[in-house]
Amino acid sequence: MKEFIKENFPIIATILVALIGSPVLVAWIGRNKKKNEPANTKEKTSSAGVAQEGSIIAGGRITAGGNITAKGNITAGGHVINATGGSSVTVVEPKPALHPDRPGLSYRMGEVKEECLDYRGALTQYGKAVDEYEQVSGPASDDRAKALVAEGIKHGELAEHEAAIRCFQEALAIAKKNPDENQDKIAKMQNNIAAVYCKQSEYEKALLWYFKALAIEEKIKDSPELATTYNNIAMIYKKQGEYTKALEWYFKALQIRENTLGTDHPLTAMTSNNIANVYYSQRKYEKALEWHLRALTIREKELGKEHPDTAESYNNIASVMECRNEYSKSLEWHYKALRARIKVLGKHHPSTANSYNNIAVVYYHQGEYEKAIECYLVAYHIFLDKLGWEHPDTNEVRGNMEAAYHATNPEQPFGQWLAEQLIFESV
């Protein structure tokens, strides 16, 4: 009888599976296998004990009336009863199959969290979408690449630069699987990687990646990204203090945008704003003001007075006024920016915090330290809540506030005072 079962084991197993309706193998587990070869199947059941010279691996449960022993590992997707493994016993509960719509839902939840200014929550949801798209549509799908980009952007905004680069690099690798069809996507990923290096002040690496993107975009007829890359290269040169090169590249971007989009387009206004910032860095305040007003005229006309970009122009004009020691005018423009940002972005947005910080700086320069501390504290609360205590913006405001505090309380410990303020505000 035993010889008959051995010889006809595959047929018997097939009949049992058909009768039971699930992939279960009953009894004689591992007996038809070679010595030390793993007994590997979906599920294992025995009324007696189970012994195996090698490993036992099952996708489902392993159940026996006696002991289950193996000189190798015992791995099961379900429950293991009375198991003794020579190396280890591993039980991995099988995960239910994901619904095809689940990754898209996680991605949308990330967008909702982002709209609610919950950046950490948004990052978590985008990360879930990346993992879920891998299960549903594969590791190299376009949807997964899109989620990787969203996750990378959030890492970057939270100053988690290495994580951002990893996400963008992985998305780039996906795009490169079909290089002829994805030239624009490849260039965008290279731009994203360059932007992260720029935030890290690794300007040479940033330029390297921007020029890689530029090499692709210049081959694409009427590439809408070409002016953007010109703009980004100019920004690097500005940060390096090479203002002549920065203006050269900004004016190249401006020419493309005026020719393709028109003189009154918001992106044309953005380039004018960037040119103004170079003149500001050169301390050519009259030219800076001229170009900022040019950008503002377009933004108020095309976007309205209550728009984030318009608020940026208000803020930049205020900075020019401050450098000209026109503090009253500077505060006037800063408060216009603050009101616009509160109206459009809300009281707890990081851009709103920037306005409070900038107002505080003006008060500090006027010697009105109490008003400065009050505004710094508001900005600090927002940055702490939205960006975390390690973020560069949070640290900058904390340093500014400490300087203002010591201007009026030179002998008092700032850290203790700040802790008291935070406790008081949370009560």
CB 121 within 8 A of CB 113: yes
The pLDDT of residue 277: 97
CB-CB neighbours of 411 under 10 Å: 5
The pLDDT of residue 281: 97
pLDDT digits (tens, 9 = 90+) for 39-64: 444 444 444 444 455 544 554 545 44
pLDDT digits (tens, 9 = 90+) for 60-117: 545 444 555 555 555 554 444 444 444 444 444 556 788 999 999 999 999 999 988 8
Region 126-138: what's the mean pLDDT? 95
Region 176-185: what's the mean pLDDT? 93
Q: Assess whether pLDDT exceeds 60 at residue 427.
A: no
State the Rg of the chain over Cα.
Answer: 31
The pLDDT of residue 77: 47
Distances (CA, A) of 28 to 8, 47, 58, 64, 80: 12, 10, 15, 12, 18
Q: Assess whether pLDDT exceeds 60 at residue 27.
A: no
32 pLDDT band (50/70/90 cuts)? Answer: very low
CB 193 within 8 A of CB 209: yes
- How many Å apart are CA 392 and CA 200, to the nearest integer? 11
Q: Assess whether pLDDT exceeds 50 at residue 36.
A: no
Nearest to 353 by CA among 327, 316, 381: 381
13 pLDDT band (50/70/90 cuts)? Answer: very low
- Which residues in 22-145 belong to E strands, given as ranges? 24-26, 39-41, 43-46, 50-52, 56-58, 62-64, 68-70, 74-76, 83-85, 89-91
Nearest to 189 by CA among 150, 157, 131, 155: 150
The pLDDT of residue 159: 87
- How many Å apart are CA 377 and CA 354, to the nearest integer? 12
The pLDDT of residue 333: 98
CB-CB neighbours of 255 under 10 Å: 13
Q: Assess whether pLDDT exceeds 80 at residue 121.
A: yes
Q: Which helix (H) or strand (E) holds 396?
A: helix 392-408
pLDDT digits (tens, 9 = 90+) for 296-338: 999 999 999 999 999 999 999 999 999 999 999 999 999 999 9
pLDDT digits (tens, 9 = 90+) for 226-259: 999 999 999 999 999 999 999 999 999 999 999 9
220 pLDDT band (50/70/90 cuts)? Answer: confident
Nearest to 341 by CA among 318, 373, 372, 365: 318
Nearest to 56 by CA among 35, 34, 46, 71: 71
